[in-house]
Amino acid sequence: MRLFISYARVDKYYCTQIVDMLDVHDVWFDNRLHAGQQWWDQIKRRLEWCDGFVYLLSPDSVASKYCRKEYEIAMSLGKAIFPILIQSRTQIPPDMAHIQYVDLSSGITTECVKLILNSIYIAEREGSTQQVAALSYPNGHHSIGDVAVLDQPATTHEAEMTISEAAQALDGEEYDRAVFLLKQAKASGYKSRYIDLDAMLNEAEDALEMQAYQREAEREYMPIAALVKHDRTRKLGCQAFRAFHNTFPDYDPDNLVSICMPLRAPQLEWVSVPAGHVKLKRNGRSKTHYVGAFEIAKYPVTNAQYTYFLDAPDGYVNEKWWDFSPQAKLWREEHPDPIRPKPELHNHPCVNACWYEAVAFSRWLSDRTGTTITLPSEQQWQRAAQGDDDRLFPWGNDFNPSYGNTREARKMGTTPVTEYAQSASPYGVVDMCGNVWEWCINNNDGSQNANGTGEDYRVIKGGSYIGTYQRAQSSFYYALKPECRYSSIGIRLIRLKV
């Protein structure tokens, strides 16, 4: 049987699945690449050509002006109608309430496929306008010329009204309709000295593509989440989720990754820091800041832990983690490859990661663990190092070269993050003096501003194996451009309490 499939463009993924399912038949569906008169003429020819009309029912398709017009034409021509429900929340139009449909809203099952194929087989065998299961035929036959077509903008005023309708559709997130209207306006030859029609169309198409991506992800995700939530089917669900996660790494509203992929994220040890006050010095003056309670990683991020991010399919390569800042996105485009750590230094602090990379890592780890993980502010870092008594070093006020990897220790390089456990801060935080500087989230104005959208210099704290012990004092800070990568700068993270 020759089949015409009508669908909303946002549902194209479902459409292609059903096309594959119906491959024993001669199937045609509209790619919606154009919206001019020639496009509509092709639609009419195909509607006359087909024997059966497959209507994919979703909120978008039943609201779609062109899908409804296709349906009306198919009905007027006496075509066999095969409605298929692809989204459960769809409100069936009153004029279709009498038509039986096949329900694929919970997925394509063997039983549903048999029902669809059997319906088509019956229609082929009957070759008439009698009603059969899951089918409906109109009572009479008419010429396609008797049915009004979609209006094309004929005047400048009509084209302007089409642009206005498209803007409303965009505002209402009706991206399929917006794309169609804008293509209509373009096909009509509409020109404006001020409106960039191509830019408007590109915006609508990008939004439609993202909407379709989200729709596809949601449809595939829901049954997987149901499997994971039940003990008996969790293993199968997690297996499915891992495959799903490779295709849709940024879609996980139920945080299934924490259940199904717990070992694919680095395990950090956290210590609690109570709320309190800390003094920061700027230009010879001290200012006291209140710092709320938080948790901080006991050790700097190691090379082994950072490598998880570099190797994960949804990690360093995923643009999602870099979209917090236009500058970060640009930097990432210009620096697609990280500086990989040396495997033999797996328990040393990771280095050669710029501020953008450190923030991207924290965002990925937050997503993987379902918690809020970020770089510390300067105030949080110093609070974790000093406690309540404004000490010069995490262990006290007297410097001891055996307590930290500064220039005085003469190590000439990084050391394992656990090597100086005896120099822990009042809260048990280790390796906060020397070894590597550690990025903070804020800029160097002395505020707790965590704005990550600019090119401001970013604070680093703690000193390094290169510098003297004076630079490793807990109150000392330095600031660098966020794009800087050095072998003496690393990462320590905090976790915010909910």
d(CA 364, CA 370): 10
Instruction: Tell me the mean pLDDT in the region 391-420.
Output: 95
189-211 residue pLDDT tens? 888 888 888 899 889 888 888 88
**Would you say residue 131 has pLDDT above 50?**
no
Quote the CA–CA distance of 446 and 432 in Å, as a whole number.
Answer: 20
222 within a domain of the structure (yes/no): yes
Residue type, 122: I
Give strand ranges (E) for 168-240: none
In this predicted structure, which of 173-182, 257-266, 394-403 has the lowest mean pLDDT?
257-266
Q: Are residues 302 and 254 in the same domain?
A: no
Locus of tokens 């050790």: 299
Residue 451 lies in a domain: yes
- Is the residue at 56 inside a domain? yes
- CB under 8 Å, gap of 24 or more: what pairs does 247-250 form? 248/213, 248/216, 248/217, 248/220, 248/221, 249/313, 249/314, 249/318, 249/320, 250/314, 250/318, 250/320, 250/367
**pLDDT at residue 286 above 50?**
yes
By CB neighbour count within 10 A (0-12 exposed, 13-18 middle, 19+ buried), where does 472 fall? Answer: buried
| Average pLDDT of the segment spanning 86-110 | 83
pLDDT of residue 261: 74
Domain that holds residue 364: 270-495
Q: Does residue 183 share a domain with residue 242?
A: yes
| pLDDT value of residue 306 | 95
Among 135-139, 272-276, 313-317, 320-324, where is mean pLDDT lowest? 135-139
Does residue 134 sit in the same domain as residue 227? no
Q: CATH number for the domain including 278? A: 3.90.1580.10
Q: Between these two residues, 289 and 192, which has the higher pLDDT value?
A: 289
Question: Is 109 in a helix, a strand, or coil?
Answer: coil
Percent of the chain with pLDDT over 70: 90
Same domain, residue pair 426 and 282: yes
DSSP class of residue 421 equals G
Q: Which residue has the higher pLDDT, 179 or 400?
A: 400
* Max intra-chain CA distance, the chain: 98
Q: Does 170 fall in a domain? A: yes
pLDDT tens column, 42-66: 888 899 999 999 999 988 888 888 8
Q: What is the pLDDT of residue 141?
A: 36
Is 278 in the same domain as 331? yes
Domain boundary residue, one of 146, 167, 185 = 146
Higher pLDDT, 145 or 403: 403
For residue 6, give the CATH number of its domain. 3.40.50.10140
134 and 221 share one domain: no
Same-domain pairing of 367 and 247: no
**Whether 259 and 288 share a structural domain:** no
Check residue 71 and give its pLDDT: 92
User: Above 70 in pLDDT, residue 453?
Assistant: no
Summarised one tens digit per residue, pLDDT across range 237-249 is 999 998 898 888 7
User: What is the residue-averaged pLDDT of the chain?
Assistant: 85
Query: Where a domain ends, among 205, 236, 264?
Result: 264
Distance of CA 145 to the CA centre of its chain: 46
Q: Are residues 277 and 259 in the same domain?
A: no
Residue 289: pLDDT over 50: yes
Token pair 């109109």: residue: 138
pLDDT of 370 reads 83
337 lies in the same domain as 474: yes
Q: What is the CA radius of gyration of the chain?
A: 31
53: in domain? yes
- Compute the half-sphere exposure of residue 204: CA atoms within 13 Å on the CB side of its CA: 26
Mention every residue, 6+ apart, whose C-beta is less than 8 A from residue 352: 339, 341, 485, 486, 487, 489
Rounded Cα distance between 461 and 381, Å, is 8
Residue 151 lies in a domain: no
- Provide the number of structural domains found in the chain: 3
Please say if the pLDDT value at position 449 is more than 60.
Answer: no
Q: Looking at 264, 281, 316, which one is the last position of a domain?
A: 264
For the stretch 175-190, pLDDT in tens is 888 888 888 788 778 8
Taking alpha carbons only, the member of 143, 144, 129, 179 closest to residue 70 is: 144
Do 322 and 470 fall within a single domain?
yes
Is residue 403 within 8 A of residue 423, CB to CB? The reply is yes
Q: What is the pLDDT of residue 155?
A: 58
In a domain, 346, yes or no: yes
Note whether 49 and 80 are same-domain residues.
Answer: yes
The model's pTM is: 0.52
Check pLDDT > 50 for residue 88.
yes
Answer yes or no: are the C-beta atoms of 329 and 322 closer than 8 Å: yes
In the predicted model, what is the mean pLDDT of residues 373-378? Answer: 96
Separation between Cα atoms, residue 387 and residue 393, nearest integer Å: 10
Average pLDDT over residues 431-457: 80
pLDDT band at 403, cuts 50/70/90?
A: very high
What mean pLDDT comes out for the span 79-108?
85
Q: 363 is written with which tokens? A: 């965002």
With CA atoms as reference, report the closest residue to 493 among 345, 395, 368, 388. Answer: 368
Each residue's pLDDT tens digit, 297-346: 999 999 999 999 998 888 999 999 999 989 999 999 999 999 999 989 99
